Amino acid sequence: MSSTWQDAEPLAVFLREMENEQRDSLATKKEDRKREIHSRIFKLGWTMEDTKMQENGACKKWNTLVCAAKPLTERNWRNILPQLTELLEHNRELRLSEEARIRQHQRNSQARHWIESCLKQLPAYAWAIEPASFAAERSADSAPTGFDSASSVVLAVNAPHINDANKERTLAWPTPSASLVFSWAPFKVLLKTDKLHKDFAVALEELRPIFMSLLLEWRIQTEQTLTSLLPPDPSSSQEAGTIEALENISGLPVMAIPQLDILVDSRPIQSVSFDIQRLFRADTIFTRYMSLGFYPEDMQTGYTSERNSWSYDKEKSDIAKLLLISLGRPNATYLEMKATGRSFTCGQCCACGYASWRELACLLALQTCRKTVLTSFYIPDNPLF
């Protein structure tokens, strides 16, 4: 048996060599045909990128026509050229569409980062100062006060920038989401314009004055929308149920709330409209997406800055109003209460430690809601007969 294999070994070697030669010959013929076809289609204006088929079906058909071992003749070329042209045209459309989509995504990302950078450079919208320094602030009446009559933005020279040292006494500008900014006409046109990265950056900088003007317009419209949600009479009485639920609350914190002078857009809060003053009150509470919200602190870049998602929360506002009365500061602003930091304790729950004004309002509202639910739960049903 071993002798038979030995006798057949030369034949096996010969057959393997023939197989390898045939494989190499077929590969050479396919490569020559492919090279010739590429040479011809490049002369017709197509590029190498056009020949890289993106769809599986098109790729299979392309390989069948191009990567065959059959030599390319003029007759064969005339027969396959219409099919190749159809594949190339379709593939080019797909490639250009994908490249345009990628560039669009890059422009959106570049514009989003630019918008975020612009918003971070904004000074504080409102800030609190000690009464002793208020006269010095008011003496700067000749300084720019945020915006001029032409609605073009001029950043106030005496407006602080928010940092860790003053964040408890400052409120940032309300800012729209990037997706909302993209819907503004100048940005919509710019984003649709196919530009190189450097050219697009220059175009964005040229758009900065318009962006700041539109930002001011958006802020004014937002404040008009929110003030329209407030009760017509800010001193209206609370609902009887809310008052009754709070009358028996014991352990309310008693402390001296420091009175600070508040400046809004570099102006004393007393000089802004009464509706805007109401927005800055500590007992003006909104709800957005089931979360408590104070203006403008909670109207920052993101989905929470959609003003249509905000609604006035009368129950929480009434609770905050009674709490401010008990503290002896019925007209306190949110910024004054925020400046106290985590200085409050709640006597109605098991929460440990100190709470901020925001946290205290949430805790008391939650406790009031629980008391209402428990009271209703234990009321016996009226007899049926």
- 73/161 same-domain check: no
- 130/7 same-domain check: no
Q: Is the pLDDT of residue 200 over 70?
A: yes
As a whole number, mean pLDDT of residues 236-248 equals: 45
Where among 76, 103, 130 does a domain terminate?
103
pLDDT at 153: 43
Q: 3-state SS string over 236-273?
A: CCCCHHHHHHHHCCCCCCCCCCCCCEEEECCEEHHHCC
Q: Is the pLDDT of residue 366 over 60?
A: yes
Q: How confident is the model at residue 187 (pLDDT cuts 50, 70, 90)?
A: very high
As a whole number, mean pLDDT of residues 96-102 equals: 93
pLDDT at 242: 45
pLDDT at 144: 39
pLDDT tens-digit series, residues 130-158: 886 554 544 544 443 433 333 334 444 46
- 170/255 same-domain check: yes
pLDDT tens-digit series, residues 266-299: 899 999 999 999 999 999 999 887 788 899 999 8
Total-model pTM: 0.72
Where among 52, 73, 103 does a domain terminate?
103
Taking the C-alpha atoms of residue 18 and residue 216, their distance in angstroms, rounded to an integer, is 82
* Number of domains composing the chain: 2
Structural domain range at position 225: 121-377
Closest CA to 136 of 154, 155, 158, 156: 158
What's the chain's average pLDDT? 80
Least confident of 29-33, 99-103, 211-215, 227-231: 29-33
Whether 159 and 137 have beta carbons less than 8 Å apart is answered as no
Q: Is the pLDDT of residue 162 over 90?
A: no
- 368/295 same-domain check: yes
- 201/58 same-domain check: no
pLDDT at 10: 74
- 183/271 same-domain check: yes
pLDDT tens-digit series, residues 33-54: 899 999 999 999 999 999 999 9
| Beta bridge partner(s), residue 128 | 262
- 300/190 same-domain check: yes
pLDDT at 374: 41
Is 111 contained in some domain? no
- 89/11 same-domain check: yes
- 18/157 same-domain check: no
Q: To the nearest whole percent, how much of the chain has pLDDT over 70?
A: 76
pLDDT tens-digit series, residues 339-348: 888 878 766 6
Beginning with the edge strand found earlier in the chain, give each strand of the sheet holding 261-264 in spatial order.
170-171, 126-129, 261-264, 267-268
- What are 101's two structure tokens? 């989509």
3-state secondary structure of 344: strand
Is 186 contained in some domain? yes
pLDDT at 323: 87
Taking the C-alpha atoms of residue 74 and residue 363, their distance in angstroms, rounded to an integer, is 86
